[in-house]
Amino acid sequence: MPDVRCPMCSKPNPSDAATCKSCGARLKPLVPGESPIGGALGRGGDFLLGEEGEPGHGEGGADWLERRRPAADEGGEAEHEALTGGADQSGDQPDWLGRLRPAGAEEDEGPPEGEVPDWLSSGEEGRAQAEAEPATEVPDWLARIRERHEAEAQAQANEPEPAPEEDWLGRLRAEELPPAKPELPPARPGRPPVESVPLAMPKEPVSRPVFREEVFKDDRLFPAPDIGLEPEEESTESPPLPWNPPGDRLTPSRGFGRKPSAGAEMAGDQGEGEKPARRGGLDSAAEPAWLAEAREQADDELPHVPALVGDEGSAPASGSAADVELAPIDLPDWLSELKGAPPQAKPEPEGMGDRLAPATLPSWLEAMRPMETFRPVVEIQPEEEQQVEAAGPLAGLRGVLLAEPVVAMPHPSTAAAARLDVTERQFALGDLLRRLVKEEERESPAAARGKRRLPLVRWAVAVVLILAVILPSFVGGPSFPVPALVPPGLPSLINLVNELPTERPVLLVFDYEPGYSGELEAVAGPLLEHLMLRGLRLATVSTRPSGPPLAERLIQQTGEMHQYTNGEDYLHLGYLPGGPAAVQLFAQDPHLAVAGGFLLPEGTTGATIWQSPVVRGVERLSDFGAVVVIAAGTEIARTWVEQASPMLGETPLVMVLSAGVEPLVRPYYEALDPQVDAILAGLPAAVAYEQANGQPGQARTLWDAFGSGMLVAELSLVLGAIYGLISWLLRPGGG
């Protein structure tokens, strides 16, 4: 025999298999007339047989109602399945439907396609009204139905009247049906009549019907039980139920529980705000407490209502109460009390439609799923709690699947780590690096302090040098002859000083540190004495804070013999802060640059310093007779040359320099257009200048000491060269 392929997983299965061995899906669709064994009805038989398969087990045949309550407590899943079990879907019809169908499967049972009027919204009265209409207006199919109903009525007339209790459905239906509605055709063929369910109720009254959980797991638990009714009787309209039978409770809100005028709703005309008649029009005030509690729990725990089930086919089938055999049914007490109360359709509260889960699968489809574990549990959060998409084209929408946590948010890589292939060379290099790092971490021991050697050479040179400088001053020897040759440039300087105008003051710039005072005072002394010999007025300034005191010191040393007085013959303009900018400003506007003075005589302040007779008439730098810069450094000498020389005009610029600075300033002096008019540098030039002046001064006093020190320095070089030569000759391998 050829294999049968599973419609779900396409796996081949034996032809006689009922379910797929791979996915468990049903291979053979249930059709009417099929044996209930193993089918829906067979399983549904448990509903009647009780837990052990015996009728009336537990509390008798009414234990479906006992199992009903815990089933409601179990949550939405069991009820969900049970709810969907009552759905009437094409291709998934229970057996009872198959048996009922032949009776009602006549082609003339329903109206022709497209001619289905508002039969769903009609009731008993409507049917009566329809009967009063002229026969000419009745279509053929409706006429045939009427004929059949008349035959049934005659057959029932011969039977005994039902108990008054059992006629409550008819009364209720008569009370709530709309008054003027045409007679409705029978329920749509193929749909299980709801009135068959209460017929399956056990006769023994039950106070608290309880459902077992396994009952709800079957999605076809509530077919019509085998009640032995003829199919023709089932095709008649069923009265609306004042209470929800088990199947009613498990059907969606738009199914069984609607009010009798649900015919219009079955035609698709369902109002949005209408409350789903889950409670079957039962007055909440009249229902028992346990049922209300169960409903509340079910409402709370089962927010999701299957949306694909029973939306249009689960409406109560129309039919009269006389069509149902209620005599053997023993209703519970609470149900008996409710018989007289007409069912009232409660208005559907707002937002009820939001509780419908649009994505819930119908039970018949869920039953075909291969694995139970894949059953989706979709928790639909309230709209205000749903996250809002923040990126992508769905940005701003609420309730969508968020792509960002999957795409953009960091997460561990799912890719397996690739194995690193390391060559021997790489391994060796890595090991070398590891050892280097480890070596760095190791604390190196403190180096042993070497044997400290006394700086004998240093001390010996220092002692010899100090003695060489001191001895000539105290002992008087050795005496070095004064230079016989005049240094080049000195005659021009002497001539320049001799030609300076006496009515214009000479500006002396003391820009050296006190450490150079020994040399520069000796060098500048002859020039200063020469100026004093000529009686020139002197004005001092400095760009260093220590300059004014040095100027006062040199002038006092030199001027004692010439009776130079502060404020009359010389004046200290003070300190010029600002470095090169101060020199520039002083060269442009001496009055603006000088803020105060130094050791100003009485009656002279910083504001009136330019009123002093020493600097009277000086407005610019060129108004000075000469500018003599006494500097020990290259930078300050260059600054004065570069910043002041453009403003000097015809005023000569004389540089008195240390011997070490002279080579760097000489280019300004030896240029074709010299910016420096004279240079006086070094002690030999100073001695020569003193000789030229005819008055030995400080330079001459230091001359012998200077000569001795120079001699020691020369000898140290010679001795060092000899020592090095000997040590090289005596070294093993040397020479």
Q: Which of residues 475-534 bind another protein (CB under 8 A)?
A: 478, 480-485, 488, 513-518
Closest distance of CB 657 from another protein, Å:
12
Closest distance of CB 532 from another protein, Å:
21
Identify whether the C-beta of residue 614 lies closer than 8 Å to the C-beta of residue 568. yes
Part in contact with another protein (CB under 8 A); list of ranges 117-125, 282-290, 396-404, 591-599 = 591-599
> How many whole angstroms separate alpha carbon 603 and alpha carbon 609?
9
- Residue 367: exposure state from Cβ atoms within 10 A (0-12, 13-18, ≥19): buried
Identify whether the C-beta of residue 261 lies closer than 8 Å to the C-beta of residue 123. yes
Nearer to another protein among residue 9 and residue 461 (C-beta): 461
Binding positions for another protein, 177-196, rule CB under 8 A: none
Part in contact with another protein (CB under 8 A); list of ranges 42-50, 210-218, 615-623, 712-720 = 712-720
The three-point CA angle 220-224-229 to 5° equals: 160
Part in contact with another protein (CB under 8 A); list of ranges 298-306, 327-335, 399-407, 718-726 = 718-726
Q: Which two tokens stand for residue 392?
A: 């992508």
> How many whole angstroms separate alpha carbon 23 and alpha carbon 50?
29
Nearer to another protein among residue 97 and residue 702 (C-beta): 702
Closest distance of CB 690 from another protein, Å:
14
Nearer to another protein among residue 270 and residue 716 (C-beta): 716
Closest distance of CB 536 from another protein, Å:
24
Nearer to another protein among residue 112 and residue 720 (C-beta): 720
Closest distance of CB 553 from another protein, Å:
6
DSSP annotation of 468 reads H
Residues 439-478 vs another protein: string with x where CB under 8 A?
------------------xx--xx--xx-----------x
Among 128, 286, 585, 692, binds another protein (CB under 8 A): 585
Give the residue among 619, 658, 626, 661 at the shortest CA–CA distance from 645.
626
Identify whether the C-beta of residue 207 lies closer than 8 Å to the C-beta of residue 332. yes
Give the residue among 75, 80, 46 at the shortest CA–CA distance from 63.
46
Query: Is the preceding omega at residue 223 within 30 degrees of 0, hence cis?
Result: no
Binding positions for another protein, 542-561, rule CB under 8 A: 545-546, 548-550, 552-553
Residues 601-640 vs another protein: string with x where CB under 8 A?
-------------------------------------x--
> How many whole angstroms separate alpha carbon 657 and alpha carbon 524?
8
Residues 270-289 vs another protein: string with x where CB under 8 A?
--------------------
Residues 355-384 vs another protein: string with x where CB under 8 A?
------------------------------
Nearer to another protein among residue 121 and residue 517 (C-beta): 517
Say what angle helices 698-730 and 517-533 make with each other, to 10 degrees.
Answer: 150
Would you state the torsion angle of the CA atoms of residues 671, 674, 680, 681, taken in this order, to the nearest 10 degrees? -40
Nearer to another protein among residue 38 and residue 515 (C-beta): 515
- Contact between 582 and another protein by CB under 8 A: the answer reads yes
Closest distance of CB 446 from another protein, Å:
17
Part in contact with another protein (CB under 8 A); list of ranges 34-42, 324-332, 373-381, 597-605 = 597-605
Identify whether the C-beta of residue 43 lies closer than 8 Å to the C-beta of residue 60. no
Binding positions for another protein, 336-355, rule CB under 8 A: none
> How many whole angstroms separate alpha carbon 67 and alpha carbon 208?
9
SS3 sequence of 20-74: CCCCCCECCCCCCCCCCCCCHHHHHHHHHHCCCCCCCCCCHHHHHHHHHHHHHHC
Part in contact with another protein (CB under 8 A); list of ranges 109-117, 374-382, 429-437, 713-721 = 713-721
Nearer to another protein among residue 427 and residue 728 (C-beta): 728
Backbone angles phi, psi at 554, to 5 degrees: -70, -40
Identify whether the C-beta of residue 657 lies closer than 8 Å to the C-beta of residue 510. no
Closest distance of CB 598 from another protein, Å:
5
Cβ neighbours around 277 below 10 Å, total: 30
Give the residue among 33, 368, 367 at the shortest CA–CA distance from 219.
367
SS3 sequence of 547-614: HHHHHHHHHHHHHCCCCCCECCCEEEEEECCCCHHHHHHHHHCHHHHCCCCECCCCCCCCCCHHHCCC
Closest distance of CB 656 from another protein, Å:
17
The three-point CA angle 474-479-483 to 5° equals: 135
Nearer to another protein among residue 247 and residue 597 (C-beta): 597
Nearer to another protein among residue 337 and residue 714 (C-beta): 714
- How far are the Cα atoms of 314, 652, 657, 666, 682 from residue 670, in angstroms, in the given order? 123, 15, 15, 6, 18
Nearer to another protein among residue 401 and residue 484 (C-beta): 484
Closest distance of CB 582 from another protein, Å:
5
Nearer to another protein among residue 250 and residue 583 (C-beta): 583
Nearer to another protein among residue 251 and residue 651 (C-beta): 651
> How many whole angstroms separate alpha carbon 723 and alpha carbon 456?
14
Closest distance of CB 673 from another protein, Å:
15
Identify whether the C-beta of residue 678 lies closer than 8 Å to the C-beta of residue 489. yes
Q: Which two tokens stand for residue 600?
A: 């100003």
Nearer to another protein among residue 78 and residue 609 (C-beta): 609
- How far are the Cα atoms of 214, 535, 607 from residue 614, in angstroms, in the given order? 126, 12, 15
Identify whether the C-beta of residue 319 lies closer than 8 Å to the C-beta of residue 193. yes
Which amino acid is present at 558?
T
Nearer to another protein among residue 40 and residue 653 (C-beta): 653
Among 709, 730, 732, 735, binds another protein (CB under 8 A): 709
Binding positions for another protein, 641-700, rule CB under 8 A: 646, 659, 662-664, 666-667, 670, 682, 684
Nearer to another protein among residue 613 and residue 720 (C-beta): 720
Binding positions for another protein, 86-125, rule CB under 8 A: none
How many residues touch another protein under the rule CB under 8 A: the total is 72
> How many whole angstroms separate alpha carbon 336 and alpha carbon 340?
8
Closest distance of CB 538 from another protein, Å:
17
CA 42 to chain centre: 59
Closest distance of CB 713 from another protein, Å:
5
Which amino acid is present at 134?
P
Among 49, 352, 380, 599, binds another protein (CB under 8 A): 599
Among 47, 598, 610, 640, binds another protein (CB under 8 A): 598
Part in contact with another protein (CB under 8 A); list of ranges 208-216, 313-321, 378-386, 574-582 = 574-582
Binding positions for another protein, 212-241, rule CB under 8 A: none
Closest distance of CB 663 from another protein, Å:
4
